[in-house]
């Protein structure tokens, strides 16, 4: 079963993800919460809000990429900032993809890009 971990502090965005995601998924409101969840959970994909209370999403991604257990899980950064330098920063810490908010602008494009990553992740056979 494909699982997605959503790390998102904004209740509205969490509701939105809940409404449009077709995968089974878990939700964390902060990097600290997500770190707890990841002790028992290996998702196929992590949807990572960049702006989080406490540790920010990119620092957390760097941490995940440094851990051999979580390093293979693709991280898709979600941010309101669309500047090239923001995208660069996300790539530099190991994010596979960078999606700009609001995703409501085009939820279908968003879902499409996401399914691509989930399919690729399961095709790699990393986990089932
Ligand atoms: Mn946020």
CA of 59 relative to ligand 1 center, distance in Å: 14
> What does pTM read for this prediction?
0.81
CA of 87 relative to ligand 1 center, distance in Å: 16
Query: 3-state DSSP call for residue 67?
Result: coil
| Tokens representing residue 26 in the block | 């878990």
pLDDT of residue 64: 98
- Top-confidence residue, 14 or 48: 48
Cα–Cα distance measured from residue 111 to residue 9, given in angstroms and rounded to the nearest whole number: 20
CA of 52 relative to ligand 1 center, distance in Å: 5
Contacts of 35 (CB under 8 A, 6+ apart): 60, 63
Cα–Cα distance measured from residue 106 to residue 32, given in angstroms and rounded to the nearest whole number: 30
Torsion over CA: 37, 52, 72, 64 (sign): negative
Q: Residue 122 — very low, low, confident or very high, per pLDDT cuts 50/70/90?
A: low
Q: Cα(first)–Cα(last) distance of the chain, in Å?
A: 6
CA of 56 relative to ligand 1 center, distance in Å: 9
**pLDDT tens readout for residues 17-70:** 777 776 677 899 999 999 999 999 999 889 999 999 999 999 999 999 999 999
**pLDDT tens readout for residues 76-119:** 999 988 788 999 999 999 999 888 877 666 666 777 777 777 66
CA of 114 relative to ligand 1 center, distance in Å: 19
pLDDT of residue 80: 86
- Top-confidence residue, 108 or 9: 9
Cα–Cα–Cα angle for 103, 97, 34, rounded to 5 degrees: 80
């Amino acid at each position: 079963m494909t699982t997605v971990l959503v790390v998102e502090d904004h209740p509205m965005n969490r509701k939105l993800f809940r409404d449009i995601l077709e995968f089974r998924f878990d939700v964390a409101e902060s990097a600290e919460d997500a770190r707890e969840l990841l002790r028992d959970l290996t998702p196929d994909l992590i949807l990572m809000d960049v702006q989080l209370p406490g540790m920010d999403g990119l620092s957390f991604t760097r941490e995940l990429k440094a851990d051999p257990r979580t390093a293979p899980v693709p991280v898709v950064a979600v941010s309101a900032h669309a500047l090239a330098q923001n995208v660069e920063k996300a790539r530099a810490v190991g994010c596979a993809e960078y999606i700009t908010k609001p995703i409501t602008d085009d939820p279908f494009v968003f879902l499409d890009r996401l399914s691509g990553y989930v399919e690729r992740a399961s095709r790699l056979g990393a986990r089932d």
